[in-house]
Structures are given as structure tokens and as C-alpha cells.
């Protein structure tokens, strides 16, 4: 197909923006913001155009691009998109655009901030488009540095520790994947085929069981760290808590999805037999993650940490659905990924809104926010309900399907997964109760709170990236600061996510149409039935 | 019967690049004696021009497979590629040196004219190793390359650490040379010839199915120990940290690449070409050395706060990866597919860009009056964003992060080791790389996340700036466009496996 290389255009538009910003050393903060906004918008619109032109009845790769690159070692520049990656790319470009919009509270090194954000976007999109394992690995690692910088430079108090932990953890895991990639490369050659690293060609080869086992593990651990699956999740709470708001949004909204995407794209297609053999163990880990994440989320005093642990729980449904190997499970996994992108992205933005006003994220520092910020309360409420899986909102559809999928294969896993949804209702509604509802304005914060009595609350986390507004807000007669409701910019950032979450909940059909044929084709080796 | 005996007149054209560098070295000495006012900048320009000319000449030397001087000198793709590595690294080192030589970074003054002459002689030595077809020439080249560097290490003659490093390097280096020579003697004793190809032919006649002769095993071990010193493999690395730390920084940059390249070229000539029939014996020794070296270097580097010392241990770690490439030799189904030496050559070239680059940033800071401690990098990103960004590029490349050249280099080595069936070696490489991320990242974190304490570094170093630009461009682009470079490096297969005459 000799048409416009639309996939490359989507991928590199942010890179061009970053390059322009890099050389425009005299651009002030506002100018940098506009340039970043322009290129993030271009990338988003192009990806929408790609989605509109996408043929939902075609199971294979579309808009493919092929350029010979390093023929000596079988590496080519191969791009393509199918039903699995199409929606995730649009999610990426959307969240990146929202990320640029929501970056108003960043006050220092703003030009560098937007460069980092745009580089990150290029890396993320490339991961979803790359069909060559080598190319995939390049984009996979390319995301690492900007994300670590985002946490380390613009994060809050303990940011350096979190950035380094995030970097080392994911680097170590993905390096093992590199060995897996090389092993597949040689095994393919040993079977008498031409040297290639194209995932479609490599997937067509039948590998021995023993080989599949090791390659499966090499890839799986890299992806499990990204998801993150219990017990590979320990980097996540640190990274989330220390990251700036937008960092958290992108981390939760996109980076975590790469784990699930990688498993579907690589583990299932390269090593189907090993995937089937190991599925029970992975299901068990998923269920542990679902329960563990929910239980730990219950006791978090920090809003961001709570949402972070809820991510561990939600992402457990993704792996649960994938390794059920049926259509319901696959739909469930994909829809949970999308829904989690909208909802958790939105929740982090909501936490960010409060943080920008109060400079703390401790739940105990808030209460009765609804009386001062009614619009905010409504948005937060919808996202909260979507997260806990209220029917009619996005969280329900995905988790329901994932559980149904798991239930048909592993009854116990489905049953436990279902029961844990109660826990998620508990921690989310409790969060909402304490922060948004709870005590009325003027009442002092929870008098029973031990940390408060010892005088350690509210400790203002003095992140460099956030200006300390001090006592900029007027206070009423009770000494309660009169925070303004969500600003126009905050509204523009949050509302699309709320709307998408409602749409995915009420009318998931269009989303499922995009992925149907591709998911069916992925299921073929597993000999399972459709919906 | 010596090969090529019928050629009475040596074909000097096969030595064009080496002769250019030789002429340059002599010219530099002459200028020093005759035209004193040309000392300094003019000599630097001449050096750069000379290396560039030799580099151009080298590009006409590819796709050749000839020998001269009775088989003692070879002109093949391997020697041509070694020339490329050495000359590129030489040009970059000189660019790093020019401003430093006249800056206030070292106490007292340094004898500038001898500096360029010594570097040129050392480069000539490394080029001769690449072109060696005979044990004697290998030794000659290695010694020529090393002796000049001993002197260069002590060049900051008013600083005691410089002299200390030089003395240690000198004594241990001599010791290593003796061992190497002893190994060569045993090889000669066992085979009756000093010609590398003939040694291989001689050994091929041996019945290697049973136990090999003790004398040969001893020769292999002695050669490996001797070369291990030269490339700074653990446990023969003792001189490295002190020499790197003590030497003037541009010399550290220089000696992290060129003597190492000479050492590896000798290793390939001796082990892969001459002792090829014993490959089963030496690959496993090299593989074990590789693992020990990469872990030791990268783990000890974590504890360093002196940047030059840290880079010294990091350099030991990289020696480990390169040894892994050598160890991957000989397991491919067909020699044409053997990537071991290809990946080694590519690694050395990549290493020249990124490692000299990292030292160049240290030089850049020293030129501006700062020290070489980790704390000297605090907040550099807010004071000199471009320098900090460049350092980040070099360090990430050393970590092996795509799309930088260090990643491609490591990828090719992993490709070679897995092909050789040594998956454990590949896993060791990636684990060592993950460990190395700790200390590389710490420098980046210090530059970006810490508050600046010292005044903004100011100064003008145009040559260093040009060199840095070239190295950043190389670090970013050589990997992405590595297809052609890779093909050139793959030429070693014809160069080393065809026995001439």
C-alpha cells in the first residue's frame, strides 16, 4: 500500500514537536505549551482519522509500512495496526493531549517538561504500532527515560527514589525480554527460515514446548512488571505517588496497558502452548493481585496511593480475562484496559485538582469538598462509580466480561473476582465519603485521626514542580479555605474522560466492533468459541 | 617455507594508513625541534589532518586480502576495520585534548608537542596490531601502543596521582608484556613458526580429539593472561582504576579505547586466527573471564564517587561484554554467519563514541575549573542544559538503551552469544547491564534532580565542543544506520579464515 504513512505520522508528530521545542530555546512557558498542544492535537486527530478509516472486518494488520533497515540481522521497520492496538493508540493520543492540557500547574522548567511529555508520547505510540520485535524493543525502552524524568524532575518529595526504582525495575525486566527476542530470532533461523524479527512471521513458526516455556517467561516477566501483576507491582505505588499529576495519568492510562497489550500480541501469538500450560498459574496470580490491590487500597491514607493500588486490582482483571482464552475474557481484558485508562486517568486528574488547591493528598486533610466545589464533586462521583463497576458505567462492562470469561474456564477464579468487586465499592465509596462528603465546611478534620492529633497532618508535600501558593485562598469564618470549583481547563481535561466512561458503559458496541475480528483470529490457536 | 617468499619487494601500498600516521608522528617530533613557535595549536591541526588522511586511505583498504613483508603484515577487512576504530577514536581524543592542554585544569604546564607525537605513535601501534600477520608484529604493535600510553598517563607531571598511576600502569604493563611474550614463545615452540596462518595450519594437523598438549594449553593460558592485562579483564585489571583516575582526563578517554582496541585486535589475531583449532579450549576460558569481568566492573563501579574512577570500572564492565563477543566465536553452523568478531568490532566502534564522549564531558567541566567528583555534577542540567543532555546521551548509551549506539552494540553481542548456544552468557550480559544502570543513572539523577551548588561553569572550548557534537551525533546515528557498518565489520570472516599462500 503506497499511501500516506499515517502510522508514522501519528508516531512522529510529537517527536517533531519535541524537536522544535528543543531548538526553540527562547520559547517562553506559554509558547512551549502551545507548541506541545498543537503537536499533541495533530497526533490525536490523525489517530482519530486512522480509527475512522480502520476496516473492522479485517483481522490482520492495516496501514502497514515496511522499510528495510538492517538486513544483516533481519531487522525491518514494520508498522501496522489491528483491532487490538487501534483503540489503545487513540487512548494514548487522547491521554497525552489531556496531559498537555492538564499541565497548567507545572511551574518550573516548562519547556523541558513539554519536550519530555512529547517524547514519551512518541515512545508509547510506537510500542503499539511496531511489528518488528527489534523496533518494538526500541520504543519500549524509549518510554523509560522520559517517564523516569517526569517522575524525577517534576515529582514530589521522594521523587528521585521513585524515579530510579521505576527505571531499574522496568529496565531489568525488559532486558530479559531482549534475550527472549534474540532466542526467537535464532530459533526461527535454525528451523530453516529467513532471518526476521517480524512478529507475524515469527508467530507462524511452531516452537518446541521447552523453548516456548522459557521464551514465554522472558516476555511475560517484562510485561507483568508493566501491568503490574502481583508480585511485580512494588514500583507502582512509589512511582504514582511521586509522579506529577499528568505523569500518573499517563502511567496509569497508557503504560500499564502495554503489559496487557504485550501479552496479547507476543505471549499468545509466539508461545501459545506455553501460554495455555501456564494459564492456571497466571490466573492465580491475577486473583491474588485483584484481592491484594483492593485490600491494600482500603487502608491507604493518601489518595494517590489508593488509586494506585486500585490499579493493581483492576489490572488483575486484564490478565484474568486474557488467560481465560475465550471471547468474553478477551473482550473483558480489552475493555477493562480502555475503561481503566479513562477512569483512572480521570481519577488522578481529580486528585490533582485537589492537590493543586491544598498541596496535600492526604485523605484526612479533606472533607465536605462538595459544598465548595459541586461540579468537581459530580465529576469525581461519576468516575468513582465507574471505577467501582456500577452497571451503566465503563468499569462494569469490562470486569463483568472478564469475570464471565474466567468463570467458564476457572470457576473459582471467576467467583473470587466477583466477590472482590465489593471491596472496590468499599474503598472507592469510602474515599468519596471522606473527601467529598463527610464533615461540613468549618468542622475541623476528623478528630479521631491519630496522625492529626500528633500534629503531622497536613504535611504539605513540597514538590518542586508545584508552586507553594501558601495562603492564597481566602478563608471563611471557620478558617476553611474557599477553594474555587474546577477551572475551565480542568473541566476540558476531565469531562471527555467522564463522557467516554459513560459511553463505554452504556454503548460498548462500537468499541467491541473494532476489536472483534482481530480477537477472534488471536483465539484460533486456542480453539475456543466466540460470544 | 614462508608464504609470499616470491615477493622480494614489500608492497608498501598495503601499509598506506600506517605510513601516513608514521610520517605524521615523525613530522611532529621534527616540528618540535625545528619550528618551536608551531608548538600547540598547529600541531593539533596537523594531527587531525593526518588522522583524517589515514582514515580516508583506510576506506580504500576494504575488500582486500593480501599480505606483504613475507606474510608479516596483512591488509584485509579486519585490519581496515581496526584502523577505522583506532583513527576515529584518535580524532575524537585529539579534539578532546586541544583545549585541555592549555587550560588551567592541571597544575603546571604539560609538554604539548610530545603529547601529540606520543598519541600518534600509540595509534600507529594499535594499527600495526590490526595488520599483524605474525606473532612478532603483534607484540611489536602492542608494545608500541602501550609504551606511549605509559608516558601519557604521567603527563600531568606536577600532580602526584598522575605519576602514581603511570608507574603502576608501567610496571604491571611490563609484567603483562613479559607473560604475553612467554606465551608467544611457547606457541612458537609447539608449532615451529611465528606466522599466524601457519600456526593455524600446523595446529589443524594435530589430532585435537584427545587431550591437547600441555605446552599448547600453557601457551593459550599465558596469551590470555597477557592480553587480559592489556584489555583490563578481571582479575588482571588492578592498574586500571589508578591509571584512569591519575591520568589527565583526555588521556583517560584515549586509553579507555585505543589500547583496549589494540588488545582485542591482538586477541582476535592470536586466538581466532592462529589458535582457531583450539577454539573449544579458549572460548570457555574467555567466557568465564567475561562474566567475572562484567559483574566485577559494574558492581564495583556502583561504589565510586570519583567520576573518572567510576568510568574506569565501567570500562572494565564493557571489557566483559567485549570478551563475551570473543567467547561467542566458533559455534555457528557456518563461519559466514559467525557474528562474534563482527559484534566485537562494532562494540569497539560504538564504545569509542560513547565512552570518549563521557570523558569529554568530564574534561569540559575541568576546563571550567570544576573537579571530577560526582558532586561536581550537581544541578548541571539547570546550569548547562546542553552539556547535561549530552552526558545523558552518553551514559544512557553506555547503559545500552535504545535507540543509542550502545544498545545496538550490546544487541549484536547478545545475538552472537545466543547463536553460540551460550544463553547463560547473554543473561549475564543483561543482568550486568541492569546493574550498570545504577551508577550511570546516579550521574544523570545528580545532574537533573539535585540543586546546583557551584557557580555556573563558564568558558570557551570550541574544539571540545566540535568533538562533543561529533560524538553525540555518532552515538545517536551510528546505531540507527548500523547496517552498512555491520557489513563492513562482517568482512573479518574472509580476512581471518582464509589461509594465504
* Residue A182 at interface with chain B, using a CB cutoff of 8 Å: yes
The torsion defined by the Cα of B362, B366, B369 and B373, in degrees rounded to 10, comes to 50
Q: Do B449 and A153 touch (CB under 8 A)?
A: yes
Q: What is the mean pLDDT of chain B?
A: 88
Q: Is B441 on the interface with A (CB under 8 A)?
A: yes
Instruction: Dump pLDDT digits (tens) for A262-318.
Output: 999 999 988 988 998 899 999 999 999 999 999 999 999 888 999 999 999 999 999
List pLDDT tens digits, range B117-142.
Answer: 999 999 999 999 999 989 999 999 99
Q: pLDDT above 70 covers what percent of chain B?
A: 95
Residues of chain B found within 8 Å of residue A160, distances taken between Cβ atoms? 445, 449
Give the nearest chain A residue to B432 (CA atoms): A172
Quick one: pLDDT band at residue A465, thresholds 50, 70, 90? Answer: very low
Q: By the 8 A CB rule, do A386 and A395 touch?
A: yes
Task: Kindly indicate the confidence band of residue B313, based on its pLDDT and cuts at 50, 70 and 90.
Answer: very high
pLDDT, tens digit, 9 for 90 and up, residues B223-276: 999 999 999 998 888 899 999 999 999 999 999 999 999 999 999 999 988 888
Grid coordinates given for B471: 560524538
Minimal Cβ distance to B434: which of A153, A164, A171: A171
Whether residues A182 and B411 touch (CB distance < 8 A) is answered with yes
Pick A164's closest partner by Cβ from B385, B423, B445: B445
Nearest to B486 among A72, A167, A179 (CB): A72
Question: Hey, are the CB atoms on A175 and B448 less than 8 Å from each other?
Answer: no
pLDDT above 80: residue A35 = yes
pLDDT score at B8: 62
Is A163 within 8 Å of B482 when comparing Cβ atoms? no
Question: Is the Cβ of B396 closer than 8 Å to some Cβ of chain A?
Answer: yes
Report, as an integer, the average pLDDT of B176-198. 91
Which range, of A10-19, A442-451, B203-212, B470-479, averages the lowest pLDDT? A442-451
Inter-chain touch B482–A70, beta carbons under 8 Å: yes
Range of the domain at B382: 5-497
Provide DSSP, A159-210.
Answer: HHHHHHHHHHHHHHHHHHHHHHHHHHHHHHHHTTPPP--BHHHHHTSPPPHH
The dihedral built from the CA positions of residue B227, B232, B236 and B240, taken in this order, carries a sign that is positive
pTM of the complete model: 0.86
Q: Is the pLDDT of residue A464 over 80?
A: no
Q: What is the per-residue pLDDT for B457?
A: 84
For an interface test with B, give the residue of A68, A70, A160, A191 to mutate (most B CBs within 10 A).
A70
Q: How confident is the model at residue B383 (pLDDT cuts 50, 70, 90)?
A: confident
Give residue-wise pLDDT tens across range B44-98.
899 999 999 999 999 988 888 888 888 888 888 899 999 999 999 999 999 999 8
pLDDT at position B501 is: 41
Chain A residues with CB-CB distance to B412 below 8 A: 73
pLDDT given for residue B269 in this prediction:
92
Supply the ipTM of this predicted assembly.
0.82
pLDDT score at B500: 45
- Is the pLDDT score of A440 beyond 50? no
How far is A123 from B382, CA to CA, in rounded Å? 25
Chain B residues touching residue A183 (CB < 8 angstroms): 418, 423
Report how far apart the first and last C-alpha atoms of chain A are (Å, whole number). 33
- Provide the number of structural domains found in chain B: 1
Q: Report DSSP state, residue A444.
A: P
> Cβ contact (<8 Å) for A176 and B430?
yes
Q: CA-to-CA distance for B417 and B69, rounded, in angstroms?
A: 36
Q: Which three cell numbers stand for residue A387?
A: 471505577
Which of A101-115, A264-278, B348-362, B430-444 is most confident?
B348-362
- Span A147-162, mean pLDDT? 86
> Is the Cβ pair B415, A182 closer than 8 Å?
yes
**How many Å lie between the alpha carbon of A178 and the closest alpha carbon of chain B?**
8
CA distances from A375 to A65, A99, A102, A416, A494 (A): 46, 21, 17, 36, 11
B29 and chain A in contact, CB less than 8 A: no
**CB contact (8 A) between residue B418 and residue A178:** no
Best probe of the B interface among A27, A73, A137, A242, by most B CBs < 10 A, is: A73
Nearest by CB to residue A179, choosing from B430, B448, B449, is B430
* Cβ within 8 Å of A, B 164-193: none
pLDDT at B7 over 70: no
Q: Closest Cα partner for A255 from A304, A317, A200, A311?
A: A311
B401 vs A160: CB contact, 8 Å cut-off? Answer: no
- Range in A178-192, A517-531, B174-188, B374-388 with the lowest mean pLDDT: A517-531
B413 interface with A at CB cutoff 8 Å:
no
Which residue, among A324, A325, A287, has the nearest Cα to A406 in the 3D structure?
A: A324
Give the span between the Cα atoms of B356 and B89, in whole angstroms.
8
> Measuring CA to CA, which residue among A18, A255, A38 is closest to residue A117?
A18
Residues of B in contact with A159 (CB under 8 A): 449
pLDDT reported for residue A62: 86
Q: How many CB atoms lie within 10 A of CB B281?
A: 16
- B411–A179 C-beta distance less than 8 A: no
Instruction: Using CB atoms, pick whichever of B415, B426, B438 lies closest to residue A168.
Output: B438
| Cell output for B469 | 557534537
Decide the pairing of beta strands A62-70 and B65-68: unpaired
B423:A134 CB<8 A = no
Q: Chain B within 8 Å of A167 (Cβ-Cβ)?
A: yes
Residue A73: list chain B partners with CB under 8 A: 412, 415, 486
Amino acid at each position: 500500500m503506497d499511501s500516506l504513512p499515517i502510522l508514522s505520522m501519528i508516531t512522529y508528530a510529537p517527536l517533531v514537536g519535541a524537536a522544535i521545542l528543543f531548538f526553540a530555546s527562547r520559547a517562553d512557558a506559554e509558547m512551549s505549551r502551545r507548541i506541545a498542544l498543537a503537536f499533541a492535537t495533530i497526533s490525536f486527530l490523525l489517530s482519530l482519522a486512522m480509527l475512522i478509516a480502520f476496516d473492522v472486518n479485517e483481522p490482520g494488520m492495516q496501514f502497514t509500512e515496511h522499510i528495510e533497515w538492517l538486513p544483516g540481522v533481519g531487522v525491518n521497520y514494520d508498522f501496522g495496526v489491528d483491532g487490538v492496538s487501534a483503540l489503545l493508540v487513540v487512548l494514548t493520543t487522547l491521554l497525552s493531549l489531556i496531559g498537555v492540557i492538564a499541565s497548567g500547574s507545572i511551574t518550573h522548567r516548562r519547556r523541558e517538561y513539554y519536550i519530555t511529555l512529547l517524547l514519551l508520547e512518541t515512545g508509547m505510540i510506537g510500542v503499539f504500532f511496531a511489528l518488528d520485535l527489534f523496533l518494538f524493543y526500541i520504543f519500549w525502552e524509549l518510554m523509560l527515560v522520559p517517564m523516569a524524568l517526569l517522575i524525577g524532575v517534576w515529582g514530589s518529595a521522594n521523587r528521585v527514589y521513585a524515579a530510579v526504582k521505576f527505571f531499574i525495575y522496568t529496565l531489568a525486566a525488559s532486558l530479559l525480554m531482549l534475550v527472549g527476542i534474540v532466542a526467537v530470532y535464532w530459533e526461527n533461523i535454525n528451523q530453516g527460515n529467513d532471518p526476521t524479527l517480524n512478529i507475524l512471521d515469527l508467530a507462524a513458526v511452531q516452537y518446541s514446548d521447552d523453548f516456548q516455556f522459557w521464551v514465554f517467561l522472558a516476555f511475560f516477566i517484562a510485561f507483568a512488571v508493566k501491568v503490574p501483576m502481583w508480585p511485580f507491582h512494588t514500583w507502582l505505588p512509589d512511582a504514582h505517588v511521586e509522579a506529577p499529576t499528568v505523569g500518573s495519568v499517563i502511567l496509569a492510562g497508557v503504560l500499564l496497558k502495554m503489559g496487557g497489550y504485550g501479552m496479547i500480541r507476543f505471549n499468545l501469538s509466539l508461545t501459545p502452548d506455553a501460554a495455555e500450560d501456564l494459564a492456571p498459574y497466571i490466573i492465580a496470580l491475577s486473583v491474588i493481585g485483584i484481592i491484594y490491590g483492593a485490600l491494600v487500597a482500603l487502608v491507604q491514607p493518601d489518595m494517590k496511593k489508593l488509586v494506585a493500588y486500585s490499579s493493581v486490582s483492576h489490572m488483575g482483571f486484564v490478565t484474568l480475562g486474557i488467560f481465560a482464552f475465550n471471547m468474553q475474557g478477551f473482550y473483558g481484558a480489552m475493555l477493562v484496559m480502555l475503561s481503566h485508562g479513562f477512569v483512572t486517568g480521570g481519577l488522578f486528574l481529580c486528585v490533582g485538582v485537589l492537590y493543586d488547591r491544598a498541596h496535600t493528598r492526604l485523605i484526612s486533610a479533606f472533607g465536605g469538598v462538595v459544598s465548595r466545589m459541586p461540579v468537581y464533586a459530580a465529576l469525581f462521583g461519576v468516575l468513582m462509580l465507574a471505577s467501582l463497576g456500577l452497571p451503566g458505567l465503563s468499569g462494569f462492562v469490562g470486569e463483568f466480561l472478564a469475570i464471565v470469561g474466567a468463570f467458564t474456564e476457572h470457576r473459582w477464579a471467576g467467583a473470587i473476582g466477583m466477590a472482590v468487586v465489593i471491596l472496590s465499592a468499599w474503598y472507592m465509596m469510602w474515599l468519596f465519603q471522606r473527601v467529598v462528603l463527610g464533615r461540613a465546611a468549618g468542622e475541623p478534620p476528623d478528630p479521631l485521626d491519630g496522625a492529626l492529633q500528633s500534629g503531622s497532618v497536613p504535611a504539605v508535600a513540597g514538590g518542586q514542580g508545584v508552586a507553594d501558593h501558601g495562603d492564597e485562598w481566602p478563608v471563611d469564618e471557620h478558617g476553611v479555605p474557599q477553594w474555587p470549583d474546577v477551572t475551565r481547563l480542568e473541566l476540558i481535561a476531565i469531562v471527555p474522560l467522564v463522557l467516554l466512561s459513560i459511553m463505554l458503559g452504556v454503548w460498548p458496541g462500537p468499541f467491541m466492533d473494532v476489536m472483534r475480528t482481530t480477537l477472534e483470529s488471536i483465539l484460533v490457536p486456542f480453539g475456543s468459541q466466540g460470544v | 617455507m614462508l608464504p609470499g617468499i616470491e615477493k622480494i619487494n614489500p608492497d608498501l601500498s598495503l601499509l598506506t594508513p600506517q605510513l601516513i600516521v608514521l610520517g605524521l608522528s615523525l613530522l611532529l617530533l621534527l616540528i618540535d625541534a625545528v619550528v618551536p613557535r608551531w608548538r600547540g595549536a598547529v600541531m593539533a591541526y596537523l594531527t587531525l589532518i593526518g588522522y583524517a588522511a589515514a582514515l580516508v586511505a583506510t576506506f580504500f583498504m576494504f575488500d582486500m586480502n593480501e599480505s606483504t613483508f613475507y606474510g608479516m603484515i596483512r591488509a584485509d577487512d579486519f585490519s581496515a576495520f581496526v584502523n577505522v576504530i583506532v583513527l576515529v577514536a584518535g580524532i575524537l581524543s585529539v579534539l578532546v585534548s586541544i583545549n585541555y592542554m592549555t587550560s588551567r585544569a592541571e597544575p603546571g604546564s604539560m609538554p604539548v608537542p610530545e603529547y601529540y607525537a606520543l598519541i600518534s605513535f600509540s595509534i600507529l601501534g594499535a594499527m600495526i596490531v590490526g595488520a599483524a600477520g605474525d606473532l612478532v608484529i603483534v607484540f611489536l604493535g602492542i608494545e608500541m601502543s602501550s609504551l606511549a600510553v605509559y608516558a601519557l598517563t604521567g603527563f600531568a607531571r606536577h600532580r602526584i596521582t598522575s605519576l602514581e598511576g603511570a608507574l603502576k600502569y608501567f610496571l604491571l604493563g611490563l609484567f603483562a608484556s613479559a607473560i604475553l611474550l612467554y606465551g608467544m614463545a611457547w606457541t612458537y615452540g609447539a608449532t615451529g613458526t611465528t606466522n599466524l596462518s601457519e600456526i593455524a595450519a600446523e595446529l589443524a594437523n594435530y589430532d585435537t580429539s584427545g587431550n591437547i598438549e600441555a605446552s599448547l594449553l600453557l601457551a593459550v593460558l599465558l596469551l590470555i593472561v597477557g592480553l587480559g592485562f592489556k584489555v583490563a579483564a578481571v582479575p588482571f585489571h588492578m592498574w586500571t582504576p589508578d591509571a584512569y583516575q591519575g591520568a589527565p582526563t583526555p588521556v583517560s578517554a584515549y586509553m579507555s579505547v585505543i589500547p583496549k582496541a589494540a588488545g582485542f585486535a591482538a586477541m582476535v589475531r592470536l586466538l581466532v586466527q592462529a589458535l582457531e583449532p583450539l577454539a573449544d579450549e579458549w572460548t570457555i576460558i574467555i567466557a568465564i573471564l567475561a562474566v567475572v569481568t562484567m559483574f566485577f566492573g559494574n558492581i564495583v563501579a556502583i561504589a565510586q564517587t570519583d567520576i573518572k574512577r567510576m568510568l574506569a570500572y565501567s570500562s572494565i564492565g564493557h571489557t566483559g561484554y567485549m570478551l563475551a563477543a570473543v567467547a561467542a566465536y566458533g559455534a555457528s553452523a557456518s563461519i559466514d554467519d559467525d557474528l562474534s568478531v563482527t559484534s566485537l568490532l562494532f562494540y569497539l566502534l560504538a564504545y569509542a563514541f560513547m565512552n570518549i564522549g563521557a570523558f569529554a564531558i568530564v574534561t569540559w567541566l575541568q576546563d571550567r575549573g570544576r573537579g571530577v567528583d560526582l558532586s561536581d555534577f550537581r544541578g548541571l542540567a539547570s546550569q548547562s542544559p546542553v552539556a547535561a543532555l549530552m552526558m545523558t546521551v552518553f551514559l544512557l548509551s553506555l547503559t545500552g538503551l535504545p535507540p543509542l549506539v550502545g544498545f545496538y552494540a550490546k544487541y549484536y553481542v547478545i545475538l552472537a552469544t545466543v547463536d553460540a548456544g551460550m544463553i547463560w552468557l547473554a543473561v549475564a550480559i543483561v543482568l550486568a547491564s541492569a546493574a550498570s544502570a545504577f551508577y550511570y543513572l546516579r550521574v544523570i539523577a545528580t545532574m537533573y534532580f539535585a540543586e546546583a551548588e557551584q557557580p555556573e561553569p563558564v568558558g570557551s572550548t570550541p574544539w571540545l565542543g566540535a568533538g562533543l557534537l561529533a560524538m553525540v551525533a555518532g552515538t545517536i546515528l551510528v546505531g540507527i544506520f548500523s547496517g552498512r557498518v555491520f557489513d563492513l565489520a562482517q568482512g573479518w570472516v574472509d580476512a581471518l579464515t582464509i589461509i594465504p599462500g
